[in-house]
């Protein structure tokens, strides 16, 4: 009888539990599966032997957890090296795990790749499958990644509101959106735009070099045109040398084990950009928000397309493992407008690689998206997207000062 | 034939357009009403004679606008003095306005009071009614104010997600919530708590003096107990002398015409508190978010109770104006669990006064709410509140290190 182990890694998403529950429930349908385990806090929980028996969980509660954002098994920022992966393999072997599923981004897929190598070298029979997840939408091969559509929906909805707020009390509004190297999530702000004069009027993604003088000129031009300005900025914007604008002014730079600088969980970038505008352009009403952790774990703002696909990549991973004869990473293909399907690709195809926005999604101005991007993203946001309406401008003739 | 003028003032809310549309549609039911005008950007639009003819608007579009957050007529931060109010009155008189409705907070109700006085002094027949609105929930007499329940729902939902995120990747998480003098909105974070060890573990409201050393001790005690800490902080927290903690460190202090210091639209308070924790407690993973403008204008996170009541205060305002013989402010009474009703009270009862959280809503610790507050707030959040679930802890026995 076989044992299954499932773990979640990296930043939580609104639908990562769908994938976990999809893998658990699908595993339990196979006769050869005896027990389904979950690791507490990803690979960290494996090496610490902190495992949960998910076979003892009720289907009802699993369904409730599937609809709950963030990683129910806990996550980790540990990026295992070879030694760490050997530790992981030792525990998997000790618990006689035959199927290992790791839900995560490109760092997690690299971990699966190394563990898979270790198992093969040791002649230990184990299927290792990576299940995709990341709000950054930066996994290669995949048309998009589970978690991104829901985060994108939050960002689009937030910008609908931010634009309306800025329209009611005009001024300059900047919101910083997550995204270290890939601008997909920041670009999603454009889907909050309905009328031609709606914000975001300016969108800055890490795929383009950020120049402060150019930025100020863009803002001034927008103010001259609309008397207000709504701006979406990716936390990962950087100068010509690739130095993040956020790092330039952050006093305490914190790095995680992956060598990544802390860009989230601080309002510094938004505040600095606001200061620049106040000082250089002399505009008084300048406001900066940083969407922060709310955008990836907000409950009650989820794309149903994302939920379905996150569930399915979990289910498909188990099917590939049980019926197939190779390890790999599950990827999403777009097959229609809108439909999708899944494939298993070799781990090395996805592991450790980063996708960024293609040029065709970024307008020539460098501060807007193209219709190709709108066509790409809109179906992913799912059904029931809220919509903003405005009053028609039937002006009353002046009496005192005609 | 009579003319009606409606305006919106102060900070936008998710349901302020319900009140505007309620007043427009109700006005158009009265035979004596000829035209219904709306002022662009509150009192500023009145003095500038920037008026819209809302009688030419379709009922359908008005209903669509009612469901759209933020102030569709635009708003203003102008706080009219006597001279300004005389200007307002001059325009109302020139356009032969018989009914004036102003939707806003305590500053707006004060404006209505002065305009009402001017009309009486001039023997000009005009009904002036203040329609309540504010996410701060700080209008006296009112059980609560339209706009607050929806903002509270956003804050509660955001903390459900923030707690789950912090649980997946443990550390310290601080979110700064709007609220200058009243802590109601920050306290709403407690409604995001389900299991006993859920965050927010600490809640700081402006009704209690904020002491940095006490704060650090609270955080340390929570970390010792749970290994993580989720904190809700009101932007208006202040020291013994009443100096806002945010002001203490803000480089550029900006004040609006009401003498209010800018506390929103900057991440400075959250960042400063994070720095304190990093420096003094030596904790590495400390994250600070500032909910910012998203919390008051987010589309798609609205309390249906709030929508209904916001609509009704607009309708009732018109009924009081048409059938009554005195100016006033519409207030909400709680009449059951849960039901509410409306009254008209004299303008001077509400105008320019601020309500704060009563002691019975704040726990003795000063860092939590009471069950009385939960009982007060829960019905206001409306139907369909999302709920978080977790996996049961069926631990697998260790094999390698039993």
Q: What is the pTM of this model?
A: 0.96
* CA distances, A318 to each of A21, A104, A117, B296 (Å): 11, 15, 19, 43
Judge if A182 and A46 occupy the same domain. Answer: no
Q: Which of A92, A133, A289 to mutate to test the interface with B (most CBs of B within 10 A)?
A: A289
pLDDT at A252: 45
Q: How does the average pLDDT of chain B come out, rounded? A: 94
pLDDT at B259: 53
Judge if A212 and A324 occupy the same domain. Answer: no
Distance from CA of A126 to the nearest CA of B (A): 18
Q: Work out the average pLDDT over B263-270.
A: 79
Residue from B78, B107, B136, B327 carrying the catalytic annotation: B136
CB contact under 8 A, A252 and B278: yes
Judge if A232 and A375 occupy the same domain. Answer: yes
On chain B, the residues whose CB falls within 8 A of the CB of A175 are: 292, 294
Interface residue A194 vs chain B (CB under 8 A)? no
On chain A, the residues whose CB falls within 8 A of the CB of B169 are: 11-12, 74-77
Q: Nearest to residue A291, comparing CAs of B80, B357, B288, B63?
A: B288
Q: Nearest to residue A331, comparing CAs of A182, A111, A147, A145?
A: A145
Q: What CATH number is associated with residue A376?
A: 3.40.50.460
Query: Is B390 part of any domain?
Result: no
Q: How far apart are CA B182 and CA A232, in angstroms?
A: 31
Interface residue A54 vs chain B (CB under 8 A)? yes
Q: Which of A40, A78, A87, A161 to mutate to test the interface with B (most CBs of B within 10 A)?
A: A161
CB contact under 8 A, A298 and B157: yes
Task: State which residue of chain B sits closest to A389, comparing Cα positions.
Answer: B65
pLDDT at A389: 97
Q: Is B235:B176 a contact under the CB 8 Å cutoff?
A: yes
Query: Is B168 part of any domain?
Result: yes
Query: Is A398 part of any domain?
Result: no
pLDDT at B252: 45
Among the partner-chain residues A251, A298, A395, the one whose CB lies closest to the CB of B52 is A395
Give the count of alpha carbons within 13 A of A325, CB side only: 0
On chain B, the residues whose CB falls within 8 A of the CB of A45 are: none
Interface residue A291 vs chain B (CB under 8 A)? yes
Q: Is the confidence at residue B256, as pLDDT, over 60?
A: no
CB contact under 8 A, A265 and B288: yes
Interface residue B104 vs chain A (CB under 8 A)? no
CB contact under 8 A, A70 and B165: yes
Q: Is the confidence at residue B75, as pLDDT, over 90?
A: yes
Distance from CA of B351 to the nearest CA of A (A): 22
Q: Is the confidence at residue A249, as pLDDT, over 80?
A: no
Judge if A331 and A362 occupy the same domain. Answer: no
**Residues 233-252 of chain B whose Cβ lies under 8 A from any Cβ of chain A:** 251-252
Percent of chain B with pLDDT over 90: 91
Judge if B93 and B219 occupy the same domain. Answer: no
Q: Which of B292, B296, B301 to mutate to test the interface with A (most CBs of A within 10 A)?
A: B292
Predicted confidence band of residue A256 (pLDDT cuts 50, 70, 90) = low
**At a CB cut-off of 8 Å and minimum separation 6, what does A94 contact?**
B399, B400
ipTM over 0.85: yes
Distance from CA of B12 to the nearest CA of A (A): 6
CB contact under 8 A, A157 and B299: yes
Judge if B178 and B74 occupy the same domain. Answer: no
Q: Work out the average pLDDT over B197-212.
A: 97
Predicted confidence band of residue A246 (pLDDT cuts 50, 70, 90) = confident
Interface residue B389 vs chain A (CB under 8 A)? yes
Interface residue A24 vs chain B (CB under 8 A)? no
Q: Work out the average pLDDT over B23-50.
A: 97
CB contact under 8 A, B386 and A167: no
Interface residue A386 vs chain B (CB under 8 A)? yes
On chain A, the residues whose CB falls within 8 A of the CB of B390 are: 65, 68, 72
On chain A, the residues whose CB falls within 8 A of the CB of B272 are: none
pLDDT at B253: 47
Q: Is B178:B265 a contact under the CB 8 Å cutoff?
A: no
Residue from A136, A198, A218, A306 carrying the catalytic annotation: A136
pLDDT at A402: 83
Among the partner-chain residues A12, A77, A278, the one whose CB lies closest to the CB of B165 is A12
Q: Is A245:A180 a contact under the CB 8 Å cutoff?
A: no
* Token pair 């800025």: residue: A166
Q: What is the pLDDT of residues B92-129, one digit of tens each?
A: 999 999 999 999 999 999 999 999 999 999 999 999 99
Distance from CA of A117 to the nearest CA of B (A): 22
Distance from CA of B39 to the nearest CA of A (A): 10
Q: Is the confidence at residue A309, as pLDDT, over 80?
A: yes
CB contact under 8 A, A54 and B278: no
Q: Are strands A97-104 and A2-8 parallel, antiparallel or unpaired?
A: parallel
Q: Which of A157, A168, A382 to mutate to test the interface with B (most CBs of B within 10 A)?
A: A168
Query: Is A391 part of any domain?
Result: no
pLDDT at A72: 98
Q: What are phi and psi of A107, to 5 degrees?
A: -65, -40
Judge if B213 and B362 occupy the same domain. Answer: yes
Task: For residue B44, give the H/E element and its range.
Answer: helix B42-47
Of the listed ranges A136-140, B142-146, B243-247, the one predicted with least confidence = B243-247
pLDDT at B34: 96
* CA distances, A195 to each of A35, A228, A239, B64 (Å): 54, 15, 32, 15
Q: What is the pLDDT of residues B387-399, one digit of tens each?
A: 999 999 999 999 9
pLDDT at A195: 96
Query: Is A225 part of any domain?
Result: yes
Q: Are strands A328-336 and B328-336 parallel, antiparallel or unpaired?
A: unpaired
Q: Which of A47, A50, A287, A294 to mutate to test the interface with B (most CBs of B within 10 A)?
A: A294
Q: Per the structure block, which two tokens stand in for A286?
A: 């300048």
pLDDT at B247: 76
Query: Is B393 part of any domain?
Result: no
**Number of domains within chain B:** 2
**Residues 301-320 of chain B whose Cβ lies under 8 A from any Cβ of chain A:** 301
Q: Per the structure block, which two tokens stand in for B345?
A: 């009270």
Q: What is the pLDDT of residues B125-159, one digit of tens each?
A: 999 999 999 999 999 999 999 999 999 999 999 99
Predicted confidence band of residue A258 (pLDDT cuts 50, 70, 90) = low
pLDDT at B202: 98
Q: Nearest to residue A62, comparing CAs of A42, A38, A92?
A: A38
Judge if B209 and B308 occupy the same domain. Answer: no
Q: What is the pLDDT of residues B299-347, one digit of tens each?
A: 999 999 999 999 999 999 999 999 999 999 999 999 999 999 999 999 9
Query: Is B396 part of any domain?
Result: no
Judge if A222 and A74 occupy the same domain. Answer: no
Q: What are phi and psi of B290, to 5 degrees?
A: -125, 120
Judge whether A136 counts as a catalytic residue.
yes
**Residues 124-183 of chain A whose Cβ lies under 8 A from any Cβ of chain B:** 157-158, 160-162, 164-165, 167-169, 173, 175
CB contact under 8 A, B252 and A275: yes
Q: Which domain holds residue B128?
A: 2-146+302-350
Q: What is the pLDDT of residues A84-130, one digit of tens each?
A: 999 999 999 999 999 999 999 999 999 999 999 999 999 999 999 99
For chains A and B, count residue pairs whose Cβ atoms are closer than 8 Å.
270
Task: For residue B228, give the H/E element and its range.
Answer: none
Judge if A272 and A314 occupy the same domain. Answer: no
Query: Is B389 part of any domain?
Result: no
Predicted confidence band of residue A348 (pLDDT cuts 50, 70, 90) = very high
Among the partner-chain residues B266, B293, B398, the one whose CB lies closest to the CB of A162 is B293
Interface residue B290 vs chain A (CB under 8 A)? yes
By the 10 Å C-beta count (0-12 exposed, 13-18 middle, 19+ buried), B34 is classed as middle
What are the helix and strand counts (H, E) for chain B? 14, 11
Q: What CATH number is associated with residue B110?
A: 3.40.50.450
Of the listed ranges A303-317, A336-350, B211-225, B244-258, the one predicted with least confidence = B244-258
Judge if B161 and B115 occupy the same domain. Answer: no
Interface residue A259 vs chain B (CB under 8 A)? no
Judge if B191 and B295 occupy the same domain. Answer: yes
């Amino acid at each position: 009888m076989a044992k299954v182990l499932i773990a979640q890694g990296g930043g939580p998403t609104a639908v990562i539990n769908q994938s976990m529950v999809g893998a658990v429930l699908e595993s339990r349908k196979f006769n050869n599966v005896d027990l389904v385990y979950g690791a507490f806090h990803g690979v960290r929980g494996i090496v610490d032997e902190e495992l949960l028996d998910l076979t003892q969980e009720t289907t009802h509660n699993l369904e409730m957890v599937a609809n709950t954002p963030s990683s129910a098994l806990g996550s980790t920022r540990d990026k295992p090296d070879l030694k760490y992966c050997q530790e992981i393999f030792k525990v998997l072997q000790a618990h006689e795990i035959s199927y290992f599923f790791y839900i995560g981004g490109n760092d997690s897929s690299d971990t699966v790749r190394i563990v898979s190598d270790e198992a093969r070298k040791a002649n230990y029979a184990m299927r290792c499958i990576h299940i995709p997840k990341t709000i950054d939408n930066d996994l290669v091969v995949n048309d998009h990644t589970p978690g991104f559509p829901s985060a994108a929906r939050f960002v689009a909805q937030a910008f609908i509101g931010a634009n309306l707020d800025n329209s009611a009390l005009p001024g300059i509004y900047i919101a910083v959106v997550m995204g270290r190297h890939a601008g997909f999530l920041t670009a999603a702000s454009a889907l909050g735009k309905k009328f031609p004069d709606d914000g975001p009027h300016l969108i800055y993604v890490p795929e383009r070099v950020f120049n402060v003088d150019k930025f100020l000129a863009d803002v001034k031009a927008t103010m001259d045109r609309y008397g207000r300005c709504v701006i979406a900025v990716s936390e990962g914007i950087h100068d010509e040398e690739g130095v993040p604008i956020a790092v330039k002014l952050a006093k305490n730079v914190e790095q995680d084990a992956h060598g990544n600088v802390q860009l989230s969980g601080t309002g510094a970038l938004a505040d600095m950009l606001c200061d620049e505008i106040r000082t250089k352009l002399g505009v008084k009403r300048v406001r900066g928000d940083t969407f922060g952790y709310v955008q990836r774990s907000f409950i009650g703002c989820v794309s149903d397309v994302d939920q379905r696909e996150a569930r399915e990549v979990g289910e498909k991973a188990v099917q590939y493992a049980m019926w197939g004869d190779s390890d790999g990473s599950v990827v999403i293909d777009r097959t229609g407008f809108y439909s999708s399907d899944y494939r298993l690709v070799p781990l090395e195809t996805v592991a450790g690689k980063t996708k960024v926005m293609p040029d065709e999604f970024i307008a020539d101005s460098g501060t807007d998206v193209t219709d190709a991007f709108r066509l790409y993203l809109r179906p992913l946001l799912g059904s029931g997207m809220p919509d903003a309406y405005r009053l028609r401008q039937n002006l009353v003739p002046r009496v005192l000062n005609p």
